[in-house]
Amino acid sequence: MLTSRAALSRAAEGILTPDEQARLRRPSVGSAASEPWTAADVPLIDEAEALIAGPPRRYGHIVVDEAQDLSAMALRVLARRAGARPSMTILGDLAQATTAWSQPSWEVALAHLGQPANAQVAELEIGYRVPGPILEMANRLLPEAAPQVRPSRSVRAHGAAPVLVPVEREDLATSVEAELAALTGDWVSVAVIAPEELLAELEAVVKAAAERLGEHGHVALLDPLGAKGLEFDAVVVVEPALIYGEVNGARLLYVAMTRAVQHLSLVHSLALPAVLTAV
């Protein structure tokens, strides 16, 4: 169907526009093994299989993490496997939802799960991983990143405040190098999180720091999306304003800042987003 203009047109009549149909069409391949499926295709294939072959195997209880980034179709995959009397634990942080198909609220997500009658939404009010001063600054992004999310407070109220490192643009890489030299002496795991456009510029600096540390620790260079789900003793966020200016920038910056479990530095030549410095 996806390789034939006529077959796709018949199936999509009254549902998809000609432009949407054109986006779905893909070139014919010689074998199924050569078909260029992606992870985003899987929920669509699963839906089609359920319509043709019947419901899939069902489970007594389903646990899902990072659910904020699941699409409507992916949530339907879960609902089919939960059956008529679903039992599920769905975990996620809407402030870290960074995909184009992320759910705007848990109420919308529950609708895609079949609106279970016994569903309850519970918000995490206390955080244990990120020190209070770092979480307090990151929470300033929430009114834009996820206005429906209640800011959590940290049980670790006495951690170190974020360190702001203003620099000239030409000194950006050397300033990150200086931060790494100081931090790798105190912490085992350190990450530099920067916009994708700066990764190549910082690669040599991070590689040199990792070589100095050797087997005694770990230094990583990541963009905000690559840092999702990870944590480090110390994090250096480079040019927060550039991250903030990206699509879903407030959420990406929130992700970057909350990877730190001990220390956070913000190295910047551009002015910090006003929301971070507002008191």
- 234-277 tens-digit pLDDT: 999 999 999 999 999 999 999 999 999 999 999 999 999 999 98
Percent of the chain with pLDDT over 70: 99
Closest among 137, 103, 139, 134 to 121, alpha carbons compared: 103
**pLDDT at residue 165 in the model:** 97
Average pLDDT value for residue range 154-177: 94
Q: Name every residue whose Cβ is closer than 8 Å to that of residue 82 and which is 6 or more positions away in sequence.
A: 58, 59, 62, 88, 113, 114
State how beta strands 126-127 and 218-222 pair: unpaired
**In the predicted structure, residue 217 carries a pLDDT above the cut 80:** no
> How many angstroms separate the Cα of 38 from the Cα of each of 42, 43, 63, 185?
7, 10, 23, 42
Q: The domain at 128-277 falls in which architecture?
A: 3-Layer(aba) Sandwich (3.40)
Contact (Cβ atoms closer than 8 angstroms) between residue 227 and residue 259: yes
Query: Does the pLDDT of residue 278 top 80, yes or no?
Result: no
Task: Note the pLDDT tens digit of each residue in 68-123.
Answer: 999 999 999 999 999 788 899 999 998 888 888 888 899 999 999 999 988 999 98
Number of CB atoms found within 10 A of residue 140's CB: 20
Query: Mean pLDDT across the chain, nearest whole number?
Result: 92
Provide φ and ψ at 88, rounded to 5°: -140, 150
Q: pLDDT value at position 279?
A: 66
The mean pLDDT of 161-184, rounded to a whole number, is: 96
What pLDDT, in 10s, does the model give residues 18-54? 999 999 898 888 887 887 788 888 999 999 999 999 9
Look at residue 226 and tell me whether its pLDDT is greater than 70.
yes
Domain boundaries along the sequence of the chain: 55-122, 128-277
- Confidence (pLDDT) at 159: 87
- What is the reported pLDDT for 156? 87
Look at the block and give the residue holding tokens 């000194």: 171
Q: What is the pLDDT at residue 80? A: 94
Q: Is the pLDDT of residue 57 over 80?
A: yes
Percent of the chain with pLDDT over 90: 71
pLDDT at 264: 98
SS (H, E, C) the chain: CCCCHHHHHHHHCCCCCHHHHHHHCCCCCCCHHHCCCCHHHHHHHHHHHHHHHCCCCCCCCEEECCHHHCCHHHHHHHHHHHCCCCCEEECCCHHHCCCCCCCCCHHHHHHHCCCCCCCCCCCCCEECCCCHHHHHHHHCCHHHHCCCCCCCEECCCCCCCCEEEECCHHHHHHHHHHHHHHHCCCCCEEEEECCHHHHHHHHHHHHHHHHHHHHHCEEEEECHHHHCCCCEEEEEEECHHHHHCCCCHHHHHHHHHCCEEEEEEEEECCCCCHHHHCC
Rounded CA gap, 6 and 41, in Å? 21
Contact 137, 245 (CB under 8 A): no
Bridge pairing between strands 153-154 and 126-127: parallel
Residue type, 248: N
